[in-house]
Structure 1
Amino acid sequence: MPADLAVIGMGQSGLPVSQAATAAGIGTIGFDPDEHTVAELNAGRPPADGSLTAAEIRRMLSHGFRASADPTVLSRARTVLICAPTPLAPDRALDLTALRAAAHTLASRLRPRTTVILESTVYPGSTEEILRPLLEEGSGLRAGRDFHLAYSPDRVDPGGRGHRYAGIPKVIGGLTPACTEAAAAFYGRLTDKVVRARGPREAETAKLLETNYRHVNIALVNEMAVFCHDIGVDLWDVIRCAETKPFGFHAFRPGPGVGGHGVPVDPNHLSSRGRSPGYPLRMTEVAREINSRMPRYVSQRAAALLNEHGKSARGARVLLLGVTYKPDLADQEGAPAREVGTRLRELGAQLSYHDPYVSRWRVSGQPVPRADSLYEAAGAADLTVLLQHHRTYDLQGLAAKAQLLLDTRGATPTGAAHRL
């Protein structure tokens, strides 16, 4: 099964680039060590993270795309993209286990003149200080001389339909100028604009800035949500007014927490400790603290609302709406719903949930009953909490049916619910 391109990692970043390459007429093979993932893709079934639909997967297959768990397919590709997941470990450092495994798998099959591009989220310096040695030691080849090596941060928006892959500029930083140009030649077939960074470290740090920018600004507006509630100001009207400014302001919205695969990165965990500044990015640390407090704040607001209406959280029937991290997706990666549910249970609430994309859901290892009839469940619940605004939710109708509605997304009509 020869291919011009091999993509390692069929997750939320590997699949979209595989789709773009296949659509551009590039023979593409998707490698993933998980045989179940491979079987599901080859059967035309979409991933849970919502990165692609079933129709899009079937279209890729009809154009020649195949997934494989056989690492020998890597030896036949001219270009290899590494899109291995790098989630946060318990110590809040990036877990590079899957990246190292991908490098070991590729190294023994790496051929001269191959272009290798890392797209995983990593610390500045990782391409040169982690990936490069693993590839060189395992292959006997030298990066920059025998094969090209570059870093290009992924810029995917799972489930988002507002941006075509081709319309999103691709940042590239190569080990050498020739490496950069080899990567640029590849991405030039997929995107309208290629942005050349000074080197891999600059490209890696651009990803760090993009991710931390999101978390810092969400933290700011989450903090404003708490502040505005305490002083009796309508935050949502504040945002509506502020976003009319045509310069110097970009609107973010508060919520019950920050989910998703893009995690805030602290470069104090640099791949080379000698390169670490020895202190954290304080703004990122504070943002993480603020955002991590939001599930607790939501549960406290829920308990306070119940109390204001003459009910205790203990024994109260609480319906949670939307337990995924993003609207209209099934992906629950990092979704704050589970912590909100855990805290409400600790207060003694009787939980139920509704989510059109999640058929089973557990909190603290215990199953949570799923509401079959949404309106009946909202009418029976002492409190309904909107955690994620899926398009299928008729919020005006829900507000009319619910005894008490807490909207953490500011999606309900003004005056229809209690907002975060």
Structure 2
Amino acid sequence: MEIENYLAKNLINKFNKKEATIGVIGLGYVGLPLAVEKAKAGFNVIGFDITKDRVDKVNQGINYIGDVVQEDLESLVSNGNLRATDDYKFIQSVDAIAICVPTPLDIYKQPNMEYIKSSIESISKNIEKGTLVVLESTTYPGTTEELVKPIIEEHGFVVGENIFLAYSPERVDPGNKHYNTKNTPKVVGGVNEISTKVAAALYRAVLESDVHEVSSPAVAEMEKILENTYRNINIALANEMAILCNKMGIDVWEVIDAASTKPYGFMPFYPGPGVGGHCIPIDPWYLTWKAREYNYHTKLIEAAGEINDSMADYVVQRIIEILNTQNKALNGSKLLILGIAYKKDIDDYRSSPVLDILKKLNIFGADWIVSDPYVNEFEMNGQTFTTMNLSEELISNCDLVLITTDHSTFDYSLLNNKDKLILDTKNVKKINNCFKL
């Protein structure tokens, strides 16, 4: 495609020569790694966050995200390639902006778009012509064109002509040792072909991975939802199989291992205490909400969500059954919970299913302690709880050990030969004589 738009050609030229200044809105699990990669690629990067503590830490070269290398952040800040601010006026000096703000659900499992709205309104008040805006926050199909584009145009811009707008979903997998921001393929969809080409040029100048261009932001938004809905549904299937296998006296983990020997037509997913993080338990509900606009009921997606949400109840029921084998009630029992993070070897406990389990244990009057080598403290119901280091004393003083996160750094040998009730929801193979899901 021959680009005749002067502003677009100028921007692409800046990207190719690494002469552009890039802004990143939101310095969390998505935004900070993206800001670091853009700065490492040779761009001048300015990060923005409403949380002053994050801004201060970035400017001091102090890392707070597991997927960011401390030495990289420190070096980029010291040489001037990366800085942070909480003043939206920085938008006036950037050539491109990536929006990486949260998109949570409300209590009715409907998208809360306030963070995106607020960011776009502030950006639109400060933006200059010839700037690229890319939304990276996971959201429902239609957000970029139905919500973001009108707000920008309310401020007198012509999106697609003097402001270039695209959607490119974040693909972050905390703790993944192989794939990270730099080498994970990127999907880009602009409001028109020029916007797509401009956005793709930026990512090709930053990443080592393929940049896949699609025909619209809606396609890019939908593919992101498909990625996580696919995982959510398959995890729900594994969880339902675990429940049935337990009733039938069959080891679901052995079943999955056996099925995995088939070289085609099967991909293993594993059961657990539920799903956590900011993607899998949340993203499918964006689509369910949007589908109502088209008078469609997403039955399979909702059923999968209900199954995964119900795993906390199932885990508590298993605890009750196991304690009953020694004539103990859950009320008053002491439980040691191994892991509050939603997946192994990370410090992220956002939407962790363990939180739901703990809340239900409180209802039953259980006494619990959490051990997690990656999380020193966590918040639940407005309270802050401190985790404990795993020790023989902790194990000796509890009635049951519940393994909810299979961190590699746990010393599982401490659990062997202690004659303790253990419920293992993660199939930790280093433990003898334990109950499983």
Q: Could you say if the C-alpha distance between residues 366 and 14 of structure 1 is closer, same or farther in structure 2, counting changes exceeding 3 Å? A: closer
Partner in structure 2 of residue 286 of structure 1: 303
- Structure 1 gap segments, 5+ residues each: none
| Residue 66 (structure 2) aligns with | 50
Give the TM-score, by structure 2 length.
0.90
Using a 3 Å threshold, how does the CA distance of structure 1 residues 9 and 295 change in structure 2: closer, same or farther? same
The equivalent of 2:161 in structure 1 is: 145
Report if the CA contact (8 A) 1:52-1:159 is conserved.
no
Give matches, 1:210-359, under 5 Å: 210-262=227-279, 263=282, 264-270=284-290, 276-359=293-376
Is 2:146 the partner of 1:123? no
Q: Distance in 1 between matches of 2:34 and 2:294?
A: 34
C-alpha distance in structure 2 between counterparts of 1:294 and 1:286, whole Å: 13
Amino acid at match of 1:17: L
Quickly say closer, same or farther: Cα 1:120–1:402, change in 2 above 3 A.
Answer: farther
1:382 aligns with 2:402: no
Equivalents in 1 of 2:56, 2:414: separation in Å? Answer: 41
Q: Which amino acid aligns with 2:287?
A: P
Tell me the distance in 1 between the aligned counterparts of 2:203 and 2:385. Answer: 45
Q: Is contact 1:321-1:387 (8 Å) kept? A: yes
Comparing 305-314 with 141-150, greater Cα deviation is found at 305-314
Amino acid at match of 2:55: V
| Counterpart residue type for residue 378 of structure 1 | I
How many residue pairs were aligned?
A: 414
Alignment match of 1:35 (pick from 38, 47, 52): 52
Instruction: Note closer, same or farther for the CA distance 1:146–1:363 as it changes in structure 2 (3 Å cut).
Output: closer
Offset, 1:36? 1.9
Closer, same or farther in 2 for the Cα pair 1:35/1:363, shift >3 Å? closer
Asked if structure 1 preserves the Cα contact closer than 8 Å seen for 2:390 and 2:410, the reply is no
CA contact (8 A) 2:406 2:428 kept: yes
Q: Which amino acid aligns with 2:198?
A: A
Amino acid at match of 1:265: W
Corresponding residue SS for 2:187 = strand
CA contact (8 A) 1:173 1:199 kept: yes
In structure 2, the CA distance between the partners of 1:164 and 1:337, relative to structure 1 (3 Å rule), is closer
Indicate conservation of the 8 Å contact 2:245/2:252, yes or no: yes
**1:400 counterpart SS class:** coil
CA separation of 1:394/1:249 partners in 2, compared to 1, >3 Å: closer, same or farther? same
In structure 1, what is the equivalent of residue 77 of structure 2? 61
Equivalent position of 2:3 in the other structure: none
- TM superposition shift of 1:395: 1.8
The answer as to whether partners of 1:379 and 1:402 remain within 8 angstroms in 2 is no
Aligned runs of 1:137-216 on 2, under 5 Å?
137-138=154-155, 140-191=156-207, 192-216=209-233
- RMSD, aligned α-carbons: 2.0
Once residues 375 and 44 of structure 1 are traced to their aligned partners in structure 2, the CA distance between those partners, rounded to angstroms, is 38
1:265 to partner: Cα distance: 2.9
Alignment correspondent of 1:94: 111
8 Å contact 2:168–2:220 — kept in the other structure? yes
Deviation readout 1:284-343 (Å, 9 max, x if unpaired): 100110000001111110111010122221221111111111222222100111211121
**Distance (whole Å) between structure 1 residues aligned to residue 206 and residue 46 of structure 2:** 16
CA distance in structure 2 between the aligned counterparts of 1:368 and 1:37, rounded to whole angstroms: 22
Q: 324-333 or 370-379, which moves further after superposition?
A: 370-379
TM-score w.r.t. the length of structure 1 is 0.93
